[in-house]
Structure 1
């Protein structure tokens, strides 16, 4: 496949430095009608959002927080927003992604959680109704069997299959270092309007 040619279009206007409210990484674009929004962030103030110009090359407003957690000193990152049946689902990864030796305390390793809202711009809550800006987040996928520290994923619709959650994880059968990191996926079930795998 030919990726074509690429050219630098300059900065989006979203950046961070020490002391910023947010860490400007892990961006994800979502289209809402004719508008586009970029979700981004990691640790620091966790997940932020900003409206983008129609060209997607620049932001067109002020950034605002849409998710935060006290878990692991605010260890939330890798947001991905997915629309289904009237709800915007905000998937995020919590915990320690990449410390494999020694491993972090059990339960603090990477895992995926979700909140949802009828609006793409805020009001996200988990299955228990806890605000996503106040450590809300229902666990979708965590360590199990040989799968360790799954996270930093997204959702794609696959014809004749359904919604698929994809992510990276460490295969405990293959070792405990980065060489044992694999790509995984699971078909999502939507019982009661909440994703599960």
Structure 2
């Protein structure tokens, strides 16, 4: 996507101050789908749109605008951090950040628009509701909802209280994710600080790999100094461990 300009159109309102927040790339029926989020930082004013291409060439992209997920006064969610989940040809969009955290909406068969209303799948009722960046992965018949919790950014200006920085979580203990459930999968350790913004990649040799961004405390805490990290996921104990 380097150099590609995705225009807002067809149902995504290009409001003053809106900026791109995240991209999620999937291949659906042989077509590249890029789901992009637009919002004003720190605001619930947000939407998720779609651009497609059959080749990923810079001039080949078609912007389809909104996929039907956009914040409003009647919707409690923040429409950013979209992630498409393919469950054997049935598609679901997971998204959300703060403001009632993570939602899921079924998509149509082409994965171009939502087919019914979104419902809440993860919510921390305490504090600032700092849950976002969901990524769903299926392994041996079980669905795993990885998400980031805590404060993600601006560490060079003001670091959060201890253990309130970004970390990656799932729930292992049977507590509903809609009621604050969540078990830490990866958190700050050694010179790694605030890991999050994660996803899962299937490597042909290593198997499932968890990837994420983080701060290396030996380099610096600014957002522009964050690095890309990855760890192989070990399921041998019946629970994902990195």
**Distance in 2 (alpha carbons) for counterparts of 1:7 and 1:128:** 44
Partner of 1:37: 92
Aligned positions of 1:77-156 closer than 5 A: 77-100=132-155, 101-114=157-170, 126-156=171-201
Question: Any idea what the Cα deviations from partners look like across 1:146-196, whole Å, max 9, x if unmatched?
Answer: 100000110111011121000000110001212321000011111432111
CA RMSD of aligned residues (A): 1.6
Q: Is 2:216 the partner of 1:171?
A: yes
Shift in Å at residue 71 of structure 1?
Answer: 4.8
Shift in Å at residue 11 of structure 1?
Answer: 1.2
**Distance in 1 (alpha carbons) for counterparts of 2:196 and 2:126:** 15
Deviation above 4 Å: which 4+ runs of structure 1? none
Partner of 2:103: 48
Question: Any idea what the Cα deviations from partners look like across 1:105-146, whole Å, max 9, x if unmatched?
Answer: 0100000001xxxxxxxxxxx211111111111100000001
Shift in Å at residue 3 of structure 1?
Answer: 2.5
The question of whether the paired residues in 2 share the 8 Å contact of 1:41 and 1:48 is answered with yes
**Unaligned segments of structure 1, at least 5 residues:** 115-125
**Unaligned segments of structure 2, at least 5 residues:** 2-54
**Distance in 2 (alpha carbons) for counterparts of 1:45 and 1:67:** 8
Helix, strand or coil at the partner of 1:164: strand
The question of whether the paired residues in 2 share the 8 Å contact of 1:110 and 1:150 is answered with yes
Shift in Å at residue 31 of structure 1?
Answer: 1.3
**Distance in 2 (alpha carbons) for counterparts of 1:67 and 1:34:** 24
Larger RCO: Structure 1 or Structure 2 (Cα < 8 Å, ≥ 6 residues apart)? 1
Q: How many residues align?
A: 186
Partner of 1:157: 202
Shift in Å at residue 64 of structure 1?
Answer: 0.4
Shift in Å at residue 33 of structure 1?
Answer: 2.7
With the length of structure 1 as denominator, give the TM-score of the two structures.
Answer: 0.89
With the length of structure 2 as denominator, give the TM-score of the two structures.
Answer: 0.73
Partner of 1:8: 63
The question of whether the paired residues in 2 share the 8 Å contact of 1:72 and 1:108 is answered with no
Which of 76, 81, 97 is matched with 2:131 structurally?
A: 76
The question of whether the paired residues in 1 share the 8 Å contact of 2:154 and 2:223 is answered with no
The question of whether the paired residues in 2 share the 8 Å contact of 1:79 and 1:90 is answered with yes
